[in-house]
Chain A
Amino acid sequence: MNRRDFLKNTARVIGGITLPLTAFKIINPRELLASTGDTEKVRWVFLVDTYKCVGCGMCVRACKLENEIPYDAKVTRTWVERYVITKDGKTHADSPMGARDGFTTSKIDLGIDGYEEIKNQDIDKGFFVPKLCNQCANPPCVQVCPVGATFQVPDGVVLVDRTWCIGCGYCIMACPYGVRFFHPVYHTAEKCTFCYHRITKGMKTACVDACPFGARQIGNLKDPNDPVTKVIMTERVGILKEEYGTKPQVYYLGLDREVK
């Protein structure tokens, strides 16, 4: 081997070793545990199985009643989206009243444009995706609050202080997932709390308890024996809008490219 080949091969080997490490770096839930270096015993995470969800909307109803969100107001902490992908490649999505009353028609709700009828034989894929606050590891909604009314508890849940919120709406604009809204009664920013009053008492969230099909689960990412942690660590899970760098902590099974 001459010197030229030696140098060429060395460069190739070094390039080969370093490239895959950086090029294929994706979010790893374990990293969150290690990098923070904190001593917290709990990090709440959520797992949604979209294969199991049938779109009954019982979770939305339970959430509204449990968390005192005015029932007929068009705001909700959690909602279920329906996606129907037809053979012509088009995606049809809706969530009438956040699916509070489920999906009791095959027509897609287009809002002010009425309803769109879709024939069963035209459907390629059809599924339901429950959505809720992602309790991000880097919550942009908390960063933008000018008065310190919204904050993250060390166990990962993002809360809003109703007595301190001035209702400026910055956080509502900052959330890439659109999970925040103004509470119609208190006129302050409102969001899913992972039912903080329930999970801190050892109960599950109202939506998890209301789901007959086990499509929603809540767990503790710092407990390696937690069934939710096991699924997140060993199965193919997806997260929403990874490119924003918010590190969302609601993991999805069976997420499709069309789901935003």
Chain B
Amino acid sequence: MKSHVYRPLWVTLGLIAIILIARFFYVPKDFGIGERGYMYGWHRKGDVEFWKNFKVKYRGSAYCKDCHSENYAKLMQSPHAIIPCEDCHSPAIDHPENPPKLQIQKGRELCLRCHYPLPYPTSGRANIPSIDPDKHNPGIECVSCHNPHNPLEGLK
């Protein structure tokens, strides 16, 4: 047969070879079938490490209690003891280095997350003491009268 018949074949084979070579260099070495098999485990293994090494930001109340022992002890005596410090004070990350000062949420909206009256009969929400924000000193921050670390100690 004439060479012009074979020419497209060589071009095709060349293209296939180029794709295979490119694939060899482009696809990471750790790409393959994991323990979960082809259907669920076809992945790049190194990505598991990426997610394991993600930065932890919420450190837990145990991280706060040594330096801020006074407020911690007060909180633990109050009905608010169940609320972790970082829920209101924002995540500690690497405090005190980074950030040196945490952004505390102080607005009425913070307290209303639990204390807005929603008397739903089949939810724990119905058992939380509540106020009507439109009638109960509107415009004034809750913390100007109530101590969030010990709400039962009386008004400021």
Residues of chain A touching chain B, judged by Cβ–Cβ distance below 8 Å, are: 38, 40, 50-58, 61-62, 65-67, 84, 101-106, 120, 123-128, 139, 142-143, 148-154, 159, 161-164, 193, 196-198, 200-201, 203, 206, 209-210, 212-213, 215, 254
If A54-B114, A162-B47, A254-B122 are given as contacts, then 10 extra A-B residue pairs at C-beta distance below 8 Å, sorted by A number, are: A56-B114, A62-B86, A67-B54, A153-B34, A154-B36, A164-B44, A193-B51, A200-B52, A210-B84, A213-B82
Chain A residues whose CB sits within 8 angstroms of the CB of B50 once the complex forms: 161-162
Task: Report if B43 contacts A (CB, 8 A).
Answer: yes
Query: Do B43 and A148 touch across chains, with their CB atoms under 8 A apart?
Result: yes
Query: Do B116 and A104 touch across chains, with their CB atoms under 8 A apart?
Result: yes
Q: Which of A101, A126, A197 contacts B122 (CB 8 A)?
A: A126
Task: Report if B87 contacts A (CB, 8 A).
Answer: yes
Residues of chain B touching chain A, judged by Cβ–Cβ distance below 8 Å, are: 31, 34-36, 39-44, 47-48, 50-58, 60, 82-84, 86-87, 90-91, 109, 112-114, 116-125, 128, 133
* Dominant secondary structure of chain A at its interface with chain B: loop
Query: Do A51 and B124 touch across chains, with their CB atoms under 8 A apart?
Result: yes
Query: Do A84 and B113 touch across chains, with their CB atoms under 8 A apart?
Result: no
Query: Do A55 and B47 touch across chains, with their CB atoms under 8 A apart?
Result: no
Query: Do A104 and B123 touch across chains, with their CB atoms under 8 A apart?
Result: no
Query: Do B122 and A127 touch across chains, with their CB atoms under 8 A apart?
Result: yes
Query: Do B121 and A126 touch across chains, with their CB atoms under 8 A apart?
Result: yes
Chain B residues whose CB sits within 8 angstroms of the CB of A254 once the complex forms: 122
State in angstroms the CA–CA spacing of A152 and B51 once bound together.
Answer: 13
Query: Do B44 and A212 touch across chains, with their CB atoms under 8 A apart?
Result: no
Q: Which of A67, A103, A148, A159 contacts B31 (CB 8 A)?
A: A148
Nearest-Cβ distance from residue A20 to partner chain B, whole angstroms: 32
Chain A residues whose CB sits within 8 angstroms of the CB of B55 once the complex forms: 197
Nearest-Cβ distance from residue B88 to partner chain A, whole angstroms: 9
State in angstroms the CA–CA spacing of A54 and B117 once bound together.
Answer: 11
Chain B residues whose CB sits within 8 angstroms of the CB of A198 once the complex forms: 56
Chain A residues whose CB sits within 8 angstroms of the CB of B119 once the complex forms: 120, 123, 126
Residue picked from B39, B112, B114, most chain A C-beta under 10 Å: B114
Query: Do A210 and B58 touch across chains, with their CB atoms under 8 A apart?
Result: yes
Query: Do B124 and A163 touch across chains, with their CB atoms under 8 A apart?
Result: no
Chain A residues whose CB sits within 8 angstroms of the CB of B51 once the complex forms: 159, 193, 196-197
Nearest-Cβ distance from residue A92 to partner chain B, whole angstroms: 12
With A151-B40, A209-B60 already in contact, the answer to whether A106 and B118 are too (CB < 8 A) is yes
Query: Do A151 and B52 touch across chains, with their CB atoms under 8 A apart?
Result: no
Query: Do A56 and B58 touch across chains, with their CB atoms under 8 A apart?
Result: no
Q: Which of B35, B40, B116, B117 contacts A143 (CB 8 A)?
A: B40
